[in-house]
Amino acid sequence: MKAIVYERYGAPDVLQLREVAKPVPNDDEILINVYATTSSAGDWRLRKADPFLARLFNGLWKPKRIQILGFELAGVVESTGRSVTRFRPGDAVYAACGAGFGAYAEYKCMQEKGSVALMPANMTFEEAAAVPVGACTALQFLRQGNIRRGSRVLVYGASGSVGTYAVQLAKHFGAEVTGVCSTSNVELVRMLGAERVIDYTKEQIVSDSPAYDIIFDTVGKSPFKVCVELLKPKGFYLRAVHVSLLPIMRGLWINWTSGKKVIGPTVKDSAEDLVFLRNLIETGALRSVIDRRYPLEQAAEAHRYVEQGHKKGNVVLRVRQLE
């Protein structure tokens, strides 16, 4: 089968299209014929070993544990292991691959009990492939922030892959949403449901603004001190990205010394969340935002674009062309 492989850390050009062995499912696994995946921050950071600690996970001098990237997918079940009962060949599914990655390939094996579920009936494979990581991340963080009807929520990075879902999900839960994004994305964030949008190129969020129940930083770029000051006395500062030790230590201090809570990356793969999201999507309450689409063989170009940090929503890699 064809797959995008990288054998050394570095720039996007380390990604190479290769022929590799087609996987065979174990008794508790399904073999998915992959139709689409995405180019995400998690992919380019692992490719580049940024931060450096990624090397402790994937090999100090070169990638050893993971050589095929791809954090999420949508496709069709081709075959199943002997003990599988939840899925049948021909089922259209979407999935989060977890720490194993591996979706930059024509086939991917997933455990039946993994983060995989039947795909929303009203989505294309490309639309569905963009849901599992970003939407599950947004959903789990908002739940940890005790979101409820009437909550005042600020989403920092509201036009990104996690942010676009966070705005929509917060609205679904009945929150009042403020989004933070750049000028070119203001209308998109409003269209997704935000009552107020702050253009960070023209306006800063300041500590004398109205207090928030939840501040959700989806990109790791919010001003820590200001955000803590903006929280209500028992508010939640949700940080989907930690790129250094300092915010972790500062967050622990806030948690110990006040009623406010700083919560870092704690997302777990969940088939139940995918089912929950599928129901929302099929009722029209949630949709994926796709910025660009690339064929699999142009994965390097997709990474080059995503790494610039200006994408709207998601960037999709088309693994198979539908006839």
> In terms of C-beta density within 10 A (0-12 exposed, 13-18 middle, 19 or more buried), how is residue 210 classed?
exposed
pTM: 0.95
Question: Under 8 Å CB-to-CB from 183, ≥6 apart: which residues?
Answer: 199, 201, 202
CA triplet 153, 120, 116: central angle to 5 degrees?
85
pLDDT of residue 266: 79
pLDDT of residue 208: 62
β-pair partners for 3: 18, 105
Strand order in the sheet with 231-239: 196-199, 176-181, 152-156, 212-217, 231-239, 261-263
pLDDT of residue 323: 54
Q: Give the span between the Cα atoms of 59 and 235, in whole angstroms.
A: 39
DSSP letters spanning 160-221: SHHHHHHHHHHHHTT-EEEEEE-GGGHHHHHHHT-SEEEETTT----TTSPPEEEEEESSS-
pLDDT in tens, the chain (323 residues): 999 999 999 999 999 999 999 999 999 999 999 999 999 999 999 999 988 888 988 999 999 989 999 999 999 999 999 999 999 999 999 999 998 999 999 999 999 999 999 999 999 999 999 999 999 999 999 999 999 999 999 999 999 999 999 999 999 999 999 999 999 999 999 999 999 999 999 988 876 677 999 999 999 999 999 999 999 999 999 999 866 677 788 889 999 999 999 999 878 889 999 999 999 999 999 999 999 999 999 999 999 999 998 899 999 999 997 75
The answer to whether 13 and 56 have CB atoms below 8 angstroms apart is: no
Q: Give the span between the Cα atoms of 104 and 34, in whole angstroms.
A: 9
Q: Which residue intervals of 49-204 are DSSP H helices?
A: 54-58, 125-129, 132-144, 161-172, 186-192
Residue corresponding to tokens 């999420």 = 72
Q: Which of 65, 79, 64, 119 is nearest to 96 (CA)?
A: 119
pLDDT of residue 278: 98
Full set of structural domains in the chain with CATH: 2-131+288-318 (3.90.180.10), 133-263 (3.40.50.720)
Pair type for strands 314-318 and 29-38: antiparallel
Q: Which of 141, 133, 134, 140 is nearest to 116 (CA)?
A: 133
The answer to whether 194 and 167 have CB atoms below 8 angstroms apart is: yes
